[in-house]
Amino acid sequence: KAGVTQTPRYLIKTRGQQVTLSCSPISGHRSVSWYQQTPGQGLQFLFEYFSETQRNKGNFPGRFSGRQFSNSRSEMNVSTLELGDSALYLCASSFGAGGPNEQFFGPGTRLTVL
């Protein structure tokens, strides 16, 4: 069974640009969550999607947005990039319905904002 895949793996952007990251969950998983990982703040929850609906959102500004498609693939978008957005962005998938929240993580997208 293929794991969670994220594209691209590395990205370099400049301040003010926007970026779109993609995540393909494990087959059969309907929930996709996004996290930002930085040395200073650690792992922080961005948002979670289930069946194309955002069910929960972390404490991030509106520049961070996402969506989920009917095949459960998800994208997240960051507009008007700031230097502080440089981070590893991790996507995780799970079945998303009942029981423990066993999330399986992708390798991440390393975003560098110059």
Partner 1 sequence: GEDVEQSLFLSVREGDSSVINCTYTDSSSTYLYWYKQEPGAGLQLLTYIFSNMDMKQDQRLTVLLNKKDKHLSLRIADTQTGDSAIYFCAESDSGGGADGLTFGKGTHLIIQP
* Binding footprint of partner 1 on the chain (CB under 8 A): 4, 31, 33, 35, 42-48, 50, 55-56, 58, 90, 92, 94-108
- Give me the least distance between CB of 43 and partner 1, in Å please: 4
Nearer to partner 1, 34 or 113 (CB): 34
Rounded to a whole number of angstroms, the CA Rg of the chain reads: 13
DSSP 9: S
Nearer to partner 1, 4 or 76 (CB): 4
- Give me the least distance between CB of 56 and partner 1, in Å please: 5
- Give me the least distance between CB of 36 and partner 1, in Å please: 11
In angstroms, the CA 35 to CA 103 distance is: 12
Instruction: Kindly report the backbone phi and psi dihedral angles of residue 77, in degrees, each rounded to the nearest multiple of 5, phi listed first.
Output: -125, 135
In angstroms, the CA 79 to CA 106 distance is: 22
